[in-house]
Structure 1
């Protein structure tokens, strides 16, 4: 049912239920199914909760001031602009995410919630990615965003941040999934990035209460949302101990595509990707390897970057004459933006062009 059709009492009850200790999605759904609503669940006797196998601490916390005050604060937060709450039984709850047995019963959204229904590709990787790894992330993100995909990641340092930044630079949309509440964004170094995403029609989302801090156990838990929202997950650079491998394995369990970019056998940051490839992930060297498998979802031709050899490529020739911004290249070349971004990405990956300070330069061959 639409949020507007849910009674204030039921909405508050759902927010209270979410805040109870040791009540994750599965226990939430157990209560909801047993009693038919959150408000009925909160009014049920503690013996009924125990009969469902819930710990005593869950029932005991139902009427605590902390739980009540947290729910009231969330209701006030929802009065703000660009601040939304999606519920598991709403029509606008993301369809792919709703397929999960442990889908978040409540999902807080800052920004534009409708983009959660658009085709998404997740990009994840090391927080300490190498410079080439970050460059590769940016190149792939720009192209995929230009092709019409929403780029989804975890707003962490390293690969995540590079993917979000590049999607915005390409004029695309991006979703950041937090392991904290929206009012406790972590890392704070990405506060400006999150604000830019919200202001530009992208979104930052979290299943956690607004004031939930950065607890270590919550970050692996949020990874199922990153993969659950997406058609596939691309791992750019990761060690064998990286949380990105958790996201990739969750994606495989959820029936999503898993892609991995290989690297040097001497680089520790490539070993996680190599392991995924050995386990069956698709080896990715170019954006085409992703787009070919998702032709029904994308909006650009496959042959964009194969029309010309680099030495006579018209974009290289334009950049040899003078460095250009992306906007200037659109005007000078007459190409559509998605087609242009796809070609630039391939040329950048091949080392023929480079983006510096907002302008594209031709590299000497």
Structure 2
């Protein structure tokens, strides 16, 4: 990919118009060298588009900007690139370009999107983590959005299953949002996954970026799991996009009086698959099971009963010692001693003074 492709991909004009420019001029370089006086020949460009292109050529340092992209270890794939994901290329509103840190999903493997509420319940958190961990442990790639709640929990579960996960951001690929997930961001890259965005590097998160990026999450996936969703939520937007793209959608049933399950029940009522267990889903996907559950059971048995009580009170978002004491019913001394033991064994980590998360 060259500096001209980067210039065209970063232009503030629609993806459709970028594709048309590329097609008419045979390359991004051809589009760059269109004479300003000739831009009016392209009827699909309006006055704002023409001004945008003219200004971009004046202020854009071709080589310098491209060197900055390389320095950030971000690769660019346009929809004209043979390495552009085939699943994504088939959707009607595919992005003109993807900026990628790390890797793209392996198209030879199955990919499953896991989405849901940011303010999730312990119930949703538990099942998102377990489904992602189990599927990942059987070679399924997990796609999500690195957001708070279900997204981050499922991606952490995928890493614990020793598989790969890919985060599609509503910011530039070099901008971790929310910032509290910077550890997860790094772990995804370290484990061979990828950070993906259609937005140029340095782009800050904006509310309108997130609904748009959802089509990429579903587009990169073979099916979408909705773990928890309110009656009107971004997760339902992703589910609708998935159905439009020909992807299957599964939803997790929950308590009938929980507002966090209303969206899932609505999807099930409309014909979505019902998530009962990771094992059953794996069977429906036609993937043979393994002994991951047995390994998990063995690992759990290794924890002493006191450690088990404390460990069950530590979750995937930060909790302080007081919260752990309240939930476990143990004294401060018992909790502190057990936290130290669990941290030494690698089950948890202290991310700030007296705040702990699972690892």
TM range (shorter): 0.7 to 0.9
**Alignment counterpart, residue 240 of structure 1, candidates 231, 245, 258:** 231
Aligned to 2:250, the other structure's residue is in SS state: strand
Change (3 A) 1:314 1:273: closer
- The TM-score, its normalising length taken from structure 1, stands at 0.76
Q: Tell me if the contact between 1:116 and 1:229 (Cα under 8 Å) persists in the aligned partners.
A: no
Q: Please report how far the alpha carbon of residue 319 of structure 1 lies from its aligned counterpart in structure 2 after TM superposition.
A: 6.7
- The equivalent residue for 1:35 is 25
Q: Tell me if the contact between 1:232 and 1:251 (Cα under 8 Å) persists in the aligned partners.
A: yes
**Alignment counterpart, residue 168 of structure 1, candidates 159, 173, 191:** 159
Change (3 A) 1:315 1:179: closer
1:25 counterpart = 2:15: yes
- The equivalent residue for 1:77 is 68
1:46 counterpart = 2:46: no
1:323 counterpart = 2:303: yes
1:199 counterpart = 2:190: yes
Q: Which runs of 5+ in 1 are unaligned?
A: 4-10, 306-312, 325-355, 361-365
Q: Tell me if the contact between 1:184 and 1:212 (Cα under 8 Å) persists in the aligned partners.
A: yes
Q: Please report how far the alpha carbon of residue 91 of structure 1 lies from its aligned counterpart in structure 2 after TM superposition.
A: 2.2
- The equivalent residue for 2:311 is none
Q: Please report how far the alpha carbon of residue 274 of structure 1 lies from its aligned counterpart in structure 2 after TM superposition.
A: 0.7
**Alignment counterpart, residue 88 of structure 2, candidates 92, 97, 118:** 97
- The equivalent residue for 1:208 is 199
Q: Tell me if the contact between 1:18 and 1:24 (Cα under 8 Å) persists in the aligned partners.
A: no
Q: Please report how far the alpha carbon of residue 72 of structure 1 lies from its aligned counterpart in structure 2 after TM superposition.
A: 4.8
Within a 5 Å distance, the mapping from 1:282-297 to structure 2 comes to: 282-295=273-286
| Larger CA deviation: 232-241 vs 26-35 | 26-35
Change (3 A) 1:73 1:255: farther
- The equivalent residue for 2:247 is 256
- The equivalent residue for 2:119 is 128
CA distance in 1, matches of 2:296, 2:56: 63
- The equivalent residue for 2:150 is 159
Q: Please report how far the alpha carbon of residue 95 of structure 1 lies from its aligned counterpart in structure 2 after TM superposition.
A: 1.3
Q: Please report how far the alpha carbon of residue 359 of structure 1 lies from its aligned counterpart in structure 2 after TM superposition.
A: 5.8
Within a 5 Å distance, the mapping from 1:264-279 to structure 2 comes to: 264-279=255-270
Q: Tell me if the contact between 1:112 and 1:202 (Cα under 8 Å) persists in the aligned partners.
A: yes
Q: Please report how far the alpha carbon of residue 193 of structure 1 lies from its aligned counterpart in structure 2 after TM superposition.
A: 1.2
**Alignment counterpart, residue 301 of structure 1, candidates 271, 285, 289:** 289
Aligned to 1:122, the other structure's residue is in SS state: strand
Q: Please report how far the alpha carbon of residue 216 of structure 1 lies from its aligned counterpart in structure 2 after TM superposition.
A: 1.4
Change (3 A) 1:84 1:266: same
Q: Tell me if the contact between 1:95 and 1:117 (Cα under 8 Å) persists in the aligned partners.
A: no
Q: Which runs of 5+ in 2 are unaligned?
A: 305-341, 349-359
Change (3 A) 1:267 1:110: same
Aligned to 1:175, the other structure's residue is in SS state: strand
Q: Tell me if the contact between 1:16 and 1:71 (Cα under 8 Å) persists in the aligned partners.
A: yes
Q: Please report how far the alpha carbon of residue 175 of structure 1 lies from its aligned counterpart in structure 2 after TM superposition.
A: 0.1
- The equivalent residue for 1:351 is none
CA distance in 1, matches of 2:173, 2:40: 34
Q: CA RMSD in A?
A: 2.7
Q: Deviations over 1:166-185 (max 9, x none)?
A: 11112111000001112332
CA distance in 2, matches of 1:146, 1:67: 51
Aligned to 1:62, the other structure's residue is in SS state: helix
CA distance in 2, matches of 1:294, 1:70: 48
Aligned to 2:60, the other structure's residue is in SS state: helix
Q: Tell me if the contact between 2:283 and 2:289 (Cα under 8 Å) persists in the aligned partners.
A: no
Change (3 A) 1:187 1:314: closer
